[in-house]
Structure 1
Amino acid sequence: MKLSLQQLSLHLNQSLASIYLLSGDEPLLAIEASNLIKKTAADKGFSEHTRIHTEANNDWGKTLYHVAHSLSLFSTKQIIELNLTTIKFNQTNTKLLQEYAQQPANDVVLLIQTEKIDTKTEQTKWFQTIEKNSIFIPLWPIPANHLPQWILQRAKQLGLTITQDAAILLAEQVEGNLFAAAQEIEKLTLLNLSETIDKSTIENTITDNTRFDVFNLVDSILLGNSERALRILKNLFAEGIEPTLILWAITRELRTLADIISKQKQGINLTTLFSQHRIWEKRQGAVKTFLKNNTLETCQQHLITAAHIDRLIKGAETGNLHYAMETWITSL
């Protein structure tokens, strides 16, 4: 059954399904939806938690069956996270996933996360089987004209009152980045403002372009300023920012850049590609600098390194995570 993100909370207040499928390229929404499902399951006694890493596991379908049907000495209820790095998988995994969807294990909540599922994939048998036997939640990016309303609602959830003008200004400042918007709203809560937050308050409190955040890290990388990028990265580590978020921001940018380079070779002009990928004018100069200095092959090589770092984060490989990320950043 297909639900919108807004319907998820109501659904979880009433029931808990055996399978959830989250699909989309908006990580803040994916993280928060995933956390909401896992918290609800944990509150209902699903105390064991297993993650299946598909990057280095071509037989993840078999792993899913083994984990789901194995008895635990510590808990009879478990949450299994299956993070699919691609929606194109081999015949064995396709068959096993369909079979599992039709007969899910008892006392198991399976949480599947994927990239955006396109129209072609929606016509496949495996997807239709999953959708029929699960709660499917597509996570769509927030359109630019809807972002002020999203900011107003999020602020209200945190006990803040923001004027429409203030929300519009904040939306313009973050340029569509939900992480940045959420970060700024969180900072406003720390100011303990008792009055309504208006446009002047936002102007006085919003951080400027020199802030050490994930998005400035990406821009420093695009501009080839490895020294500044490394300094920002170390500051993010010191602030306790999740490495997952840092990795996501950089890999998303690399995938976008790889697609732009590929489409340019097909004759599509850069203005059209900027529009398709929602690259605002303020960032276009940095993107052009990167495109001038890199190729499709270098982007792909950087993404291979990113996959290695992802495995370090998830514990699938051992190594010094901070050193690996610092080395990667300086090579970009």
Structure 2
Amino acid sequence: MATIGDLLDVTTIYHEPAVETFPRGREILARYPDATRIAVPSHWNIPALHGNEGSVEDWVRIKRSTLVLGVKKGLTMRPNGRSAHFIAPSTSNGCAMACAYCYVPRRKGFSNPISLFVNVEAACAAIARHATRQGALPEPDTIDPAAWVYDIGENGDLSVDAAICDNVRDLVALFRTLPNAKGSFATKAVNRDLLAYDPQGRTRIRFSLMPARIAKVVDVRTSPVAERIAAIDDFVAAGYEVHVNFSPVILYEGWEADWRALFQEIDGTLSDAAKAQLKCEIILLTHNAGLHAVNLGWHPRAEDLLWRPDIQEAKVSEGGGANVRYRAGWKGRWLARFKAVLDETMPYCTVRYAF
């Protein structure tokens, strides 16, 4: 079975000059002593890397072989209100995986390997200060019954980041000390090193799941869906709160039967303890015309599933981007049917958020 480490063979590191003044920066550089180091003014401005809409060979090669190191400048919390109460300052950006629907390439050029920020102490301190100012959660809500929840992995996959350095371990340790706050991140990878992080119920991992035959097409370089499901019990036993993201929900002929089978697989795999704490998010696919055009150059089979103008319509995102989503008139009906199938097979799984 492939491991997290198999995703990476770092031979080139782009880094801001200040990276070497931070202990975490020196640790990461020492981990890859043979990698070519290229100093850049900013992790956001690497012309040789960002904007490369190359072939699949380049796309995957860059994700495997290239790492970017920078210093996080903005340390503000952004209100969310959906999956979390707040989006915390990212300790990473980009990913070693290559999911065909990922929105991050649209924001940071189409070549988006992992960028890690080496000033994790500053991010942790900013979260702690913010949580202290918040005080107690006034009342239970759909995000959490008792704690403010901070999404700590909005722009990457922390399970893979944890294979490179201890940023994720540091974040999990931080939330152990914050009685009124939890960390939360979604993942499509199983990194069993995280089982030793001792989260004490203060970190929520959300395993993203979809029918396996569809994931094999669109979830490129991720852990198999069955492996993600099988890991849930172990992560619950290790002290994590474990939820699932049914995301993205892609509509195609036969989708309902595939999802029912997935729900039955989950139900037949999880322990009673895991089921008792399980909640979920449901997120229907949002796609993008620019990403569609790029995908046609390296993964057209995915676009057979993702690009469906017959059932999609234009949508302007919260960030102002021009995207496409399933048509509003039908989306509500499909979502209601999805929830009904879920309730039939996993009635204990509360839907925290659906979109």
User: Is TM > 0.5 for Structure 1 vs Structure 2?
Assistant: no
Highest RCO, 1 vs 2 (Cα 8 Å, sep ≥ 6): 1
Higher strand fraction (1 or 2):
2
TM-score, L = length of structure 1: 0.31
Q: Which has the larger radius of gyration?
A: 1
Higher helix fraction (1 or 2):
1
